[in-house]
Structure formats: structure tokens, C-alpha cells
Structure 1
């Protein structure tokens, strides 16, 4: 998930189409991560995802030069990127244990967490509709988590940790977006994530070396993530956030479909109701805040 400020409203249909494709890439990223995490350590999967993303960003360096890395607030950039790295690690760990659709649904509680924290941390007005959406959304999370025990409890906790990290990432994105370029934000997340995971990898992975098929999937995973973020930025250049934010929840539909196609997993009826409730709460939040902040609700999946 990412947050970007819109720059033009001239082609809303093009923006919507780009967004639908972008969130499909994010679900492909999560699907590939889930598959790879069954065989390889989580830290290796996350490192490859960031390393390939950084290589894609470096391809833009000749065109953008120092503007790609130039920032007024480097410390905040590092903290923000660290929050996304934590999110990425926890979501891959959650996908290792849980179905794709349920994990994605719990991740989409992050914008609701942002709403709950925005009043205290950002001084935003959080009206009754948005508070009602927060309560409704967390009721949906409870349904997805299935207190009956059909879903791995540790996986649920890992997904909630990922959502919390992503909420912090979104809040920091709001603070940085007025002064930082979208591509600069994207570059710093790739750079910091790659550097930190490069230091951590020797402690978490001692071989064997991935075979050619696994390596190809790992590269594809990085391409899915990097391409998805670039398409997301382009989408928000063609249409306002108030138009696109509710459509982001189509990612839940993609996750349910691909979870069934690739892994033969479909949510039980309580899980489906929970997913619909979370999506409804997110759309309520996006619509209620459309006049309050141009970047409200612009979120994925980490990617």
C-alpha cells in the first residue's frame, strides 16, 4: 500500500483502470510471497522483494538524478521506510500461516487505525461517521479472525502487527507528502528496506541457494511490487484520491479470487461477511474524509 497526492484530474477513467491493475499486481506480489514462504525463510523472501524493487528504482536514476534521493527530512524518511519494512516482514510471516483473502482483509484495517489515531497525532477532526466506520471495521476483523479457531491465531496476530506497522507508515506518509516527491518516497522505502534486510539476512538465512524456478519467482515478486507502486502513483496523477480511495478495496476481491485459483482457499461464510464489512467500513472512511485530506485512504498493500 502507498499514499500519493493527486496531481491531475483530467482522466479519471484512466486513473481507475491503472488503480485496478496496480492492486492486482499487489495481490500477485502477496500470492508469490505466500508461495515462496512455504519453502524459503521469510527474511530471504522480503530481502529479494526489496532488492529487486531497488534495482527497478535505480533504472530511473539517470532520468531523475539527485531528485530521486533528495529529501528535506531524511530521518523521517528512514523511520517511514522502516515501518514499511516491518509491515512487509509481518505480512509475509502471516501469509505463511493464513489464507490470502483473510490476511489481506486484516491488513485493510490499517486505514481504520489511521482514522482512530489521526485526531490525536495529526490534529484531524474525526467525526461520528468515521468513528462508526472504525468500530464497524474492527467488528469485521473479529469475524475474519474467526474466534471459533478455524484460523491460525498466530497468523492473525502477525497480520494485525503488519496492519499496525502499515498504519504508522501511512501516518508518516501524510506528514512527508506535502514536502516530498512521490518517487522520492518510493525510492527511500526501497533503499532503506534493502540495506536493513542485507544486514539482517546473514543471521536469518544460511542456505541453500534458491533454484532457478524459485529465483525467477523471487525476481517476479520484486517486479510485481515495484510495478504496482509505479502504477499507483500514475493512477493518482489522473484522478483525485476521493475518487480512487474507495476503489482500492477491490484488492479484497482480487485476493479472494487468486486465493481460490492459486491455493484452493475460499473464506467461510463468516469470513466473507467480515471481509465485506471491512471493505464497507473502509469505503465509509474514504468517503467521509474526501474533503478533509487529499491523500486519505490511499493505501495498499505493502508492498
Structure 2
């Protein structure tokens, strides 16, 4: 098997920069969810993003044509499913809770690589998984007496995001970053179009405001939501380009820890823009999640115990 060169410092810088961008633009979802639906959002955002990705190829940042279509297709599908769950959660809960659920992904990465890629897991990383899970519970604060499936949305996103992160490194390491971006946007746009068609044929009752985000059909005009779609499109192209680059340059279990920086950036933007605050238990939970990620990354560099 050909050895894949790693550049851990470059991977870390790419990931932190991406999280700084994404922590900001993901906060606009709560605003556009008041006006349009999930499927229209992904479809219209893809219409803006795809030409931007083509422009990246034109200026020489990578080819649009994948080396292995099937590998890029698998990864694109996994990312798209992850984003459907995550953005649904963003519209229905504070960003800190949505991010906490999504950031089950490093835990899932560790479990998947251990079970299927035969990576050894020792007591330290078992402890990290336990701490991370406790942190997620503190941030999400699920109520057993009033359980809602909404709580599981970001965790489902985290599971599929973990699969996409592993596939980026193991299946798509030799692919152009631009081709991976193009595959993701085409897939998201296609799923958005399919969702709109389904809702047109079989319309569902849609609650007003953000609660109707997932079930809302095509809305026109969308002038109020359009600026937020544009912000999301431009920011996502840059941010996701940097994420893909990070996972191509570093090992998934090591790179994933730097994604935790969005747990700082996202809630900080939310505090400034919307006055969203975290209680003491949620702050403690974020701390446990970060500690878990650091332990996972450090042990991945060492003996794996």
C-alpha cells in the first residue's frame, strides 16, 4: 500500500481557519429557516456554490474530474446526509447543542477505525470516548421524561460525518480538493431538488418559522433569505475546501481534534449576534468534549494505548 505523506501543522491550520469561518456562517441558519425550507436551502445554495467551485478549478486550484468516481461519489453521499441532519438541527436548537451532537464524529471515527480498520484502542482512548459522551450529554441535556427525536439529529449527522472524514483520507487521499468539493455540492443540490419535488407531489403541513424548516416546500420570493443563502454558499465553499484539505494532509483521528475549535467560535458568534448563552453544565460539557478530542489525538500519535 502506498504511503501517504502527512503535514500535521498545515492540516491543523487549515482546520482552525475553516472552523472560524463555519462557526460564523452556521449561525445564519436560524435566520433563513424562518423564511425557506431545508431542501430549498440546499438546492439554491448549491446553485451559487457550484460555479464558485468551477472557478477554483479554472484558476488552477485543482481539477474537477475525479480519479475514482465511485470513491468521490461515496464520500459525497456521506457528507450530504451528514449535512441534512446537521442543518435540520441548527434550525431547531441552539448552535452549541447542534455542534455538540455533530462532534460525536471524532468518537465515531475512533470506534469505526478500531472495529473495521483494526486500529488498537487502549484505556486512554476508551476514557476519552467516555468523557466525550458525558460532555455531549451535558451540552444537549436530553430530558428522558420528554424525549424528542430532534435531540438525535446532530448525533446522526456526527455519525455520517465521521464516515465521510474516514473516506476522505482512505478512499480520496489522491483526489483533487476541488473535485471533492464539486461532488459534495452536486450531491447536496440534487438531494435538495429531490426533496422539493417530493414535497410538491406530496405536500406536508409546515409549521411557521424554523419549526417548519424540514417540511417546507418551495417558497417564492426569497429576497429576505437570499443574503443568508449567499453568505452560506460563499463561506461554505471556502470553509469546506479547507476542511477537505486538512483531512487530506493529516490523519483523521488527529485532524478531527482541531474541529473542536468551532465549539468556541460558533457559540461566541451566537452570543454576540443573538445573545445565546450557555449554562455552567454546558460549558463543562464543552470542556469535556475538547479534552476527549485532545486525548484521542495525542494517543493516535503515540502507541495507540
TM-score between both structures, scaled by the size of structure 1: 0.81
Structure 2: gaps (5+ residues):
200-215
Give the alignment partner of residue 207 of structure 1, picking from 203, 215, 218.
218
User: Do the aligned partners of residues 147 and 111 (structure 1) sit closer, same or farther apart at CA in structure 2, a change above 3 Å counting?
Assistant: same
8 A contact 2:106–2:253 mirrored in 1: no
In structure 1, the residue matched to 2:208 is none
Give the alignment partner of residue 50 of structure 2, picking from 54, 61, 68.
54
8 A contact 1:87–1:165 mirrored in 2: yes
In structure 2, the residue matched to 1:43 is 39
8 A contact 2:103–2:155 mirrored in 1: no
In structure 2, the residue matched to 1:122 is 117
SS at match of 1:71: coil
Shift in Å at residue 58 of structure 1?
Answer: 1.0
Shift in Å at residue 143 of structure 1?
Answer: 1.4
State the alpha-carbon separation in 2 of the partners of residues 235 and 163 from structure 1: 18
TM-score between both structures, scaled by the size of structure 2: 0.81
State the alpha-carbon separation in 2 of the partners of residues 215 and 166 from structure 1: 27
Say whether residues 1:104 and 2:115 are aligned partners: no
Say whether residues 1:196 and 2:191 are aligned partners: yes
Say whether residues 1:281 and 2:292 are aligned partners: yes
Shift in Å at residue 20 of structure 1?
Answer: 3.4
* 1:192-271 equivalences in 2 (<5 Å): 192-204=187-199, 206-232=217-243, 245-271=256-282
Shift in Å at residue 85 of structure 1?
Answer: 1.0
8 A contact 1:8–1:240 mirrored in 2: no
Say whether residues 1:32 and 2:28 are aligned partners: yes
State the alpha-carbon separation in 1 of the partners of residues 146 and 90 from structure 2: 12
* 1:132-151 equivalences in 2 (<5 Å): 132-148=127-143
Say whether residues 1:78 and 2:67 are aligned partners: no
SS at match of 2:120: coil
8 A contact 2:54–2:64 mirrored in 1: no
User: Do the aligned partners of residues 150 and 280 (structure 1) sit closer, same or farther apart at CA in structure 2, a change above 3 Å counting?
Assistant: farther
Give the count of matched residue pairs. Answer: 285
State the alpha-carbon separation in 1 of the partners of residues 19 and 303 from structure 2: 24
Over residues 173-227 of structure 1, what are the superposed CA-to-partner deviations in whole Å (9 max), with x where a residue is unaligned? 2321333233322221122222332233233354331433421210111111111
Structure 1: gaps (5+ residues):
294-303
State the alpha-carbon separation in 1 of the partners of residues 155 and 244 from structure 2: 26
Over residues 243-281 of structure 1, what are the superposed CA-to-partner deviations in whole Å (9 max), with x where a residue is unaligned? 865433221011111121222211222111111111110
8 A contact 1:105–1:144 mirrored in 2: yes
8 A contact 2:30–2:90 mirrored in 1: yes
Shift in Å at residue 88 of structure 1?
Answer: 1.0
In angstroms, what is the RMSD of aligned CA positions?
3.1
User: Do the aligned partners of residues 152 and 50 (structure 1) sit closer, same or farther apart at CA in structure 2, a change above 3 Å counting?
Assistant: farther
In structure 1, the residue matched to 2:173 is 178
8 A contact 1:46–1:92 mirrored in 2: no
Shift in Å at residue 59 of structure 1?
Answer: 0.9
SS at match of 1:60: helix
State the alpha-carbon separation in 2 of the partners of residues 17 and 65 from structure 1: 18
Over residues 40-72 of structure 1, what are the superposed CA-to-partner deviations in whole Å (9 max), with x where a residue is unaligned? 211112223333322211112334599322222
Shift in Å at residue 110 of structure 1?
Answer: 0.7
